[in-house]
Structure 1
Amino acid sequence: MTAMARTTNKTEAGGTARMVAALAKSLREQLGLSQEELGKLIGYTASAISAMETCAQPASDHMLVMLEKTIGGGLGVFEKAREFIRLDRYPPQFKDFVPMEAGAVTLSSYQTFVVDGLFQTEAYARALIGGGFPRLPEEKVEELVEARLARKALFDRDPTPLIELILDESVLRRPFGEWEVLRNQLRSLAADARRDNVCVQVLPLERGLRGDHAGARGDMQLVETRDHHRVVYMEIEDESTLVSDPSKVASLSHRYAKIRTQALSPDDSVGLIERIAEEVGT
């Protein structure tokens, strides 16, 4: 980790990371353990423990699990911190949306450039996040990848939500990193599409040739919350908009519904995804 990255992490560390750092250090000292000794117990170096305690590199999800087992004393504090540390890792523009997504009854997404983050494989997410501009430090890339993958818990949450995804066909043909990354992403997407609570559709490239294209104005994500409120999340160039005004939400919902009618059927969409997976990069 570079000195600049360490300084940035210390400055940007959230309240949960600081609380974890202080608690871990206090418990370690109460147990008479050095940083090296605690590191050996949980599978980390002394420098990693030092970085965690100074917030130069906040605790990873795995480190929190090991801290809970080793010095947590059955309090469950480090276990509970996992949820909030994960939230701290999300980009600022996305943090308000994350709890809504996690508690969604229905989640409907239309994406025109990349696969929705909820469906991304680890390799695809890493290539996408790591390849952006300006470049992020490797440690930050790993934090964001870990946070993005954690969102996949929504697929198997009880009760299971209804998850809909509409992708512009161009997304299926746009590689990041390597062609194999895209192939595996498409195979994973096809597998997810077969879940009972998931529907994936593809909006064909030639849709505009028919004289109307409801998806021409860009991405959106619609959420129905547990208390049956509906909101729409939109993001461009690291700036986000969370729409909750009922009349605006209704208008965007109608647009999404029109996009869905213009997309291929779920069965045809899965077939296309699988065919493209075999064709790309060959």
Structure 2
Amino acid sequence: MRNGPAVRRRKLGAELKALRGRAGLTSGEAAGLLGWHQSKVSRIETARSGVKPGDVRRLLDAYDVRDPRLRELLVALAGTEQDGEHRHWWHRYRGVLPPEYRDFISLESQAAWMRTLETSVVPGLLQTPRYARAVTRASLAGVPPAQVDALVEVRLARQEVLRADPPLELRAVIDESVLHRGIGGPEVMRGQLAALREAAALPHVVIQVLPFTSGEHIGLTGPFVIFSFPNMNDLDLVVLDHLTSSLYLERKEDLSAYADAFASLQARALSAEDSLLLLAEKHDDGP
């Protein structure tokens, strides 16, 4: 159980070590190619120290890694916001986003697959502006309007991953209670239900509703997100959100348990087709 930066360093170090091995180099030979001491390579690979994005690029060059998406992901894991070489869109909001949220967005932006269970609200990547505003106001009572505006902007900007090339593959299981909870009032919910139907029609988005009739299930323990990344060795991550922080799980036992839990929830949920029919029914009847 770790925080975001620690997870990134460990995963980055493990992948760089694997790439060095594929290149047929010892840590001493890799260090020699770059004019470094062998201990620097060792510290990077064991996550005992951080690494600048520029040094990651030099290592990737030495290992003849040319895949542009893999290179981008590994450089992002180094934490580009630290060195000023390149800044992503969310860096504009550093004044309002806690580090844990920035880490989450960074991982989300690089993921190939995302599996999510939501038991209280519509997943953030599928929220409409008005729904997102209502959720933000409720969860951060007393926050100044300008900060609420900024957080809603961030929520909507995150959704660009669904329109990227290639887009994020999203698999969402949503408890039926989410469709009944009148967040923002009837008009807001009607718009949100329509948006869910539109999203469900996308080829890279699968939405399944977990009906009340499913009874007790493993999802009662709370929502979670599983990120999977392209071209990486064992990089899946589970993220658990709490009111004031996020926990990142990376042990193989945890990853296996949550992957099995998600598969179980998918099996108990309505099919994608039946879920779409339920969304249409709820939209037509009104929340």
Same fold, judged at TM 0.5 (above): yes
* d(CA) in 2 for partners of 1:189, 1:113: 15
Count the aligned residue pairs.
201
**2:62 counterpart residue number:** none
1:277 is displaced (CA, Å) by 1.4
Q: 1:156 to 1:133 in 2, by over 3 A?
A: closer
The secondary structure found in structure 1 opposite 2:139 is coil
* Structure-2 residue corresponding to 1:102: 109
Change (3 A) 1:81 1:241: closer
Q: Residue 214 of structure 1 corresponds to which residue in structure 2?
A: 218
1:230 aligns with 2:242: no
Q: Which residue of 2 aligns with 1:115?
A: 122
| 8 Å CA contact 1:155, 1:161 repeated in 2 | yes
Q: CA deviation at 1:128?
A: 1.0
For the 8 Å contact 2:90–2:154, the answer to whether it is kept is no
State how far apart, in whole Å, the 2-side matches of 1:98 and 1:154 are.
10
Distance 2:174 2:88 in 1: 34
1:138-177 equivalences under 5 Å are 138-177=145-184
> Equivalents in 1 of 2:217, 2:145: separation in Å?
39
CA separation of 1:188/1:242 partners in 2, compared to 1, >3 Å: closer, same or farther?
A: same
Give the SS at the match of 1:114: coil
Residue equivalent to 2:278: 272
Amino acid paired to 1:225: F
Contact 2:90 2:102 survives alignment (8 Å) = no
The answer to whether the 8 A contact 2:111-2:229 is kept is: yes
Gaps of 5+ in 2: 1-83
Distance change (3 Å), C-alpha of 1:206 and 1:87: farther
Partner of 1:132: 139
Aligned CA RMSD, in angstroms, stands at: 1.9
Q: Pick which of 130-139 and 177-186 moved more.
A: 130-139
- Say whether the 8 Å CA contact 1:87–1:98 is kept in structure 2: no
Larger relative CO (CA 8 A, sep 6+): 1 or 2? 2
Contact 2:111–2:228, Cα closer than 8 Å, also in 1:
yes
* Superposed displacement of residue 87, structure 1: 5.6
Shift of 1:240: 1.2
Structure 1 distance, partners of 2:95, 2:266, is 34
CA contact 1:166–1:202 (8 Å) conserved in 2? yes
Does the 8 Å CA contact 2:170/2:206 hold for their aligned counterparts? yes
User: CA 1:139 to 1:231, structure 2 compared with 1: closer, same or farther past 3 Å?
Assistant: same
The one-letter code of the counterpart of 2:202 is R
Hey, what does 2:263 align to over in structure 1?
257
Per the normalisation by structure 2, the TM-score is 0.66
Gap change, CA 1:263 and 1:140, over 3 Å in 2 = same
Contact 1:224 1:230 (8 Å CA) reproduced = yes
Partner of 1:59: none
Query: Mind listing any 5+ residue stretches in structure 1 that lack a counterpart?
Result: 1-76
Matched, 1:184 2:188: no
Q: What is the alpha-carbon distance in structure 1 between the residues aligned to residue 238 and residue 122 of structure 2?
A: 18
In the alignment, the residues of structure 1 paired with residue 212 and residue 178 of structure 2 have an alpha-carbon distance, to the nearest angstrom, of 10
1:95 deviates by 2.1
Give me the whole-angstrom Cα distance separating, in 2, the residues matched to 1:226 and 1:178: 40
Q: Tell me which amino acid in the other structure corresponds to 1:154.
A: V
- Partner amino acid, structure 1, of 2:117: Y
Return the alpha-carbon distance in structure 1 between the equivalents of residues 123 and 250 of structure 2.
Answer: 21
Mark the CA change 1:133 to 1:163 in structure 2 (over 3 Å): closer, same or farther.
closer
